[in-house]
Every structure is written in C-alpha cells, then in structure tokens.
Amino acid sequence: MNRFARIASGLAVAAAFVAGPASAQMMEEDIVDVAVQNGNFTTLAAALEAAGLIETLKGEGPFTVFAPTDEAFAKLPAGTVEALLQDKERLTQILTYHVVPGEVTSSQVVNLSEAKTVNGAMIQITTTPEGSVKINDATVTAADVQASNGVIHVIDTVILPPAGQ
C-alpha cells in the first residue's frame, strides 16, 4: 500500500473513530462546510470568501480540492496573504488552481501525472520513491476527505499557477 493510500485509510479510520455514528452526516456537508469544521483551513475559508468562491464550492460539483492548510498559507512571504485578499483577480486565479473538476480520489490521483484545474492551467502530480504524492511542490498530507459535492486532499504548501494563469 503506497503512502497516499495509507494516509487515506488512516484518515478514514480516524474520522470514523472521532465522528462515530454521525460520520454519515459529513457526506451531507459540502466541501466548504467540511473544511471550515476541520479548523485548519481558516485562511483558505477567508480567501474563498474574499474571492467570491464560497457559493461555487457549495454548488453541486463534484469538485476535487487540493486544500492548503493555515500552516501552508503561513509559509508564504510576509504580507502575501493580506495582499492577495485585496487582489480578487489574482486570488481567484490561485484558488481555482487548487480545484480540479470532478471527483478524483487518491486511487485515481496516483495514476495521473497531471490534471487540468478550474483555472485552466495544469498541475503536476508525482509519486515519490517514498510513496508520498506531490501536487507541484506541495505534499499531500491527508487524502480522500469526503464531502457531499466532492473530495478534499490536504496539502502542505500553497501552489501557484504559472505566470499569466
């Protein structure tokens, strides 16, 4: 079993343990609700709101979101997040670069070398010899977080689209 699958399996077990019988309710919650309830995506939630993308990601989907954590946003140079929150166009370009149309699970991701994002640009997908999965320069730290309208894969770095995308 590769690392991506082990992470997904461990996450599912942990979610079932923590949530108990109410875990079925999570499938009724959309991507935005699942991310907000997690507590590690407050910067992402604020960015989605500033870009006007909340309603889109609450829509029917399905979507696959490579979601950077608050720690991932903290890695950006000082002042970057604040500047992006004031630049809706650039913020939207970056956020839509983290979203792939359709639901792409970990078992599918590991068989891809790239995927086209909602932004229109391609992300590169690689599996390291150690079994971890990288999306451009970001490492997937948790996979297959299910929502009613898609799936979230947690990443440790904000990925940036190519210039002009």
- Measured between alpha carbons, how far is 157 from 75 in angstroms, rounded to an integer? 7
**165 within a domain of the structure (yes/no):** no
Beta bridge partners of 157: none
Beta bridge partners of 96: none
The pLDDT tens digits for 1-35 are 443 333 333 333 333 323 333 444 446 899 999 99
**163 within a domain of the structure (yes/no):** no
**162 within a domain of the structure (yes/no):** no
Q: Which helix (H) or strand (E) holds 138?
A: strand 138-147
**116 within a domain of the structure (yes/no):** yes
**74 within a domain of the structure (yes/no):** yes
Number of Cβ within 10 Å of residue 81's Cβ equals: 18
Would you state the pLDDT for residue 21?
36
In this prediction, the residues of the chain whose per-residue pLDDT falls under 50 are: 1-26
**75 within a domain of the structure (yes/no):** yes
Would you state the pLDDT for residue 131?
85
Report the number of distinct structural domains present in the chain.
1
Would you state the pLDDT for residue 114?
97
Whole domain around residue 89: which residue ranges? 3-155
- Measured between alpha carbons, how far is 44 from 113 in angstroms, rounded to an integer? 25
Q: Supply the CATH number for residue 127's domain.
A: 2.30.180.10
**Would you say 144 and 12 are in contact if contact means Cβ atoms under 8 Å apart?**
yes
**Would you say 52 and 44 are in contact if contact means Cβ atoms under 8 Å apart?**
no
**160 within a domain of the structure (yes/no):** no
